[in-house]
Amino acid sequence: MMINPEIQDDSLSIYIHIPFCQTKCPYCDFNTYSGIESLIPDYVKAINSEIHYWGDSLNDLSVRTIFFGGGTPSYLPEGHLESILNQVYKFFQIESAPEITIECNPNDIDTDKLTYLRKTGINRLSFGVQSLDDNLLTILGRRHSSEDALTAFAKAREAGFNNISLDFMYGLPRQTLTQWEDTLNQAIEINPDHLSLYCLTLEPGTPMKKSIDSANIPSPDQDLAADMYTTANKILENTVYDQYEISNWSKPGLNSLHNLTYWRNKQYIGMGPGGHSYVHKTRFNNINSPRQYIKRLNHIDPNKNYNKRLPSQTINTMPTVENIEYIESKLEMSETIMLGLRLSEGISEESFNHRFGLSIHEVFKESIAEAIDLGLMINENGTLKLTDKGNLFSNEVFLKFF
């Protein structure tokens, strides 16, 4: 199957991984580390080398979003974020008003830090609050209290940030429905611009999973977690927040543009150890070790021009890249549906046809019919969308398209 040659997406989103944390949370399975702060100067130098390398090769694409994730990017000492952003602007084509997000821990934020972040050009903050109940924050191993989170949010508003997202978790050990309702109502009261609500996933090998397996803390109730998700929908449906993705709500016009890149199956480059990328029909990732990442980028010549290389050459010669996968058209179609169905806007039959040159019903007729018959999906004027039931059983729906 050939993708419509007229549809060539010339946009790019950039993810920059900052793996440093003061402490690592017991539920966290991300590629993050505590106690390696001595690596920060060399790490920033390595990131800037990778930016140079990719920027030369991908300078035909315009960057619309930049996202600093981690880890705790706000934990970086002043000067380093500015250095990284300057490098991005030097080697990439940046759109006139890019969305630039940084993930923040409430404990790392004060007025001086917020002033610095605004000065660097960051215009969107994402606070990892997780809960506004102090007992649950203790179970989660978070360094901040509920008061710390509320204070950090207020200071961010005072500093002039008008695009602030708050992350919360449900399905936690010992979490009650009342605690969840209280957290949501408090969050609505302070009026953030965006809310991300995630169910706890117990990853093998994490301290929290081990504690639950050894019965030191109770296992979360999955039925209660489902009730919490339903409750969140009910609480938020009569507010200023529109649900635009299974786990995300925002005020009108303030969706996360960066995350929409993922959900619309568009191109992105992930820099830093463990960074994942999808460009030119190719998916790949960087090695996880920060030390190895730094070591392998030592040879990049800051004065050399790499823009004569094709993107495929850059991918194959980049010393930090591993697990290269070339995405065939059928897989791209399946993934486009899986990701797009997470969005409230759903999958437009017209846009699918335009992108792939094929009717979505021609390719997935049986899968679509089965999902609709089960009440998991609807066809609303030529757009496929999950039902409320489909949102609860979304993984089962997605599997039908592979």
In a domain, 288, yes or no: no
In a domain, 296, yes or no: no
Q: For residue 48, report the phi and psi dihedrals to the nearest 5 degrees.
A: -65, -35
Same domain, 214 and 75: yes
In a domain, 117, yes or no: yes
Q: What's the CA gap between 93 and 87, in Å, rounded?
A: 11
Query: Residue 91: which CATH number?
Result: 3.20.20.70
In a domain, 64, yes or no: yes
Same domain, 259 and 368: no
User: Of 214, 245, 263, which residue constitutes the final position of a domain?
Assistant: 263
In a domain, 4, yes or no: no
In a domain, 312, yes or no: no
What's the pTM? 0.93
Query: Residue 350: which CATH number?
Result: 1.10.10.920
Domain count along the chain? 2
Same domain, 338 and 194: no
Same domain, 219 and 339: no
Same domain, 259 and 342: no
- Containing structural domain, residue 94: 11-263
- Per-residue pLDDT 10s for the chain (402 aa) are 333 433 457 899 999 999 999 999 999 999 999 999 999 999 999 999 999 989 988 988 999 999 999 999 998 998 999 999 999 999 999 999 999 999 999 999 999 999 999 999 999 999 999 999 999 999 999 999 999 999 999 999 999 999 999 999 999 999 999 999 999 999 999 999 999 999 999 999 999 999 999 989 999 999 999 999 999 999 999 999 999 999 999 999 999 999 999 999 999 999 999 999 999 999 999 999 999 999 999 877 767 776 656 677 888 888 999 999 999 999 999 999 999 999 999 999 999 999 999 999 999 999 999 999 999 999 999 999 999 899 889 999 999 999
Q: Are 130 and 140 in contact (CB under 8 A)?
A: yes
User: Of 247, 263, 279, which residue constitutes the final position of a domain?
Assistant: 263
